[in-house]
Structure 1
Amino acid sequence: MVWLIRAGAYLFSGLTVWQFIQGVGTPEAVTMSHHLALDQPHGMVFGVCAGFSAYTGLDVTLIRLAWALSVLYHGAGIALYILAFLIMPVA
């Protein structure tokens, strides 16, 4: 259970750092520009990776590769994928 909390914290901090690298800057601009949501029309399974891709601006293939590699690490990717599907709203 601890690894799930740590993985979620790493994911959240990574997305926060990514927003500042892109130059968004303020939290108001982050919430007004775009939202993290499922992208089911462009997704393969539930649209989680496509949603992260639309949110971060990264290629969806890189996001899917990261999820696949996290599955190989003690199955953490499966739990995180299901958790992200349950938490993320539909666009």
Structure 2
Amino acid sequence: MIWLIRAGAYLFSGLTIWQLFQGAGMPDVGVLNKHLALDQAHGMVFGVCAGFSAYTGLDVTLIRLAWALSVLYRGAGLALYILAFVIMPVS
């Protein structure tokens, strides 16, 4: 199982470097000015998933699904959700 995780990490890092050398270049300045914060206006519970969605640009439904799956796996997602709520500032 560990070899599968390592292979995925190597593949992801290789594709990232490939994109950098193929002309994707550095991200825009607007992307660098983003900060991770709670988005309580668009959130369902505390706004943690909506904040991650605004920060990463991913669909909030995908983030909520991933978080729900992590809650089902030994409850790790619940602890991480509460920790993120405590740490993240309000936007």
- The bucket for the TM-score relative to the shorter chain is 0.5 to 0.7
Question: Mind listing any 5+ residue stretches in structure 1 that lack a counterpart?
Answer: 1-16
Q: Which residue of 2 aligns with 1:81?
A: 81
Higher relative contact order (CA 8 A, sep 6+): 1
Cα distance in 2, alignment partners of residues 36 and 24 from structure 1: 17
Runs of 4 or more off by more than 6 Å in structure 1? Answer: none
Question: Highest Rg: 1 or 2?
Answer: 2
Structure 2 counterparts to residues 48-67 of structure 1, below 5 A: 48-67=48-67
Cα distance in 2, alignment partners of residues 25 and 39 from structure 1: 23
Question: Mind listing any 5+ residue stretches in structure 2 that lack a counterpart?
Answer: 1-12
Q: Which residue of 1 aligns with 2:37?
A: 37
TM-score, normalised with respect to structure 2: 0.67
Letter in 2 for 1:90: V
RMSD (Å), alpha carbons = 2.5
Cα distance in 1, alignment partners of residues 84 and 76 from structure 2: 12
Deviations 1:1-60 (A, max 9, x none): xxxxxxxxxxxxxxxx8xx7795389xx63xx2110000000000000000000000000
Q: Which residue of 2 aligns with 1:14?
A: none
Identity, in percent, stands at 75
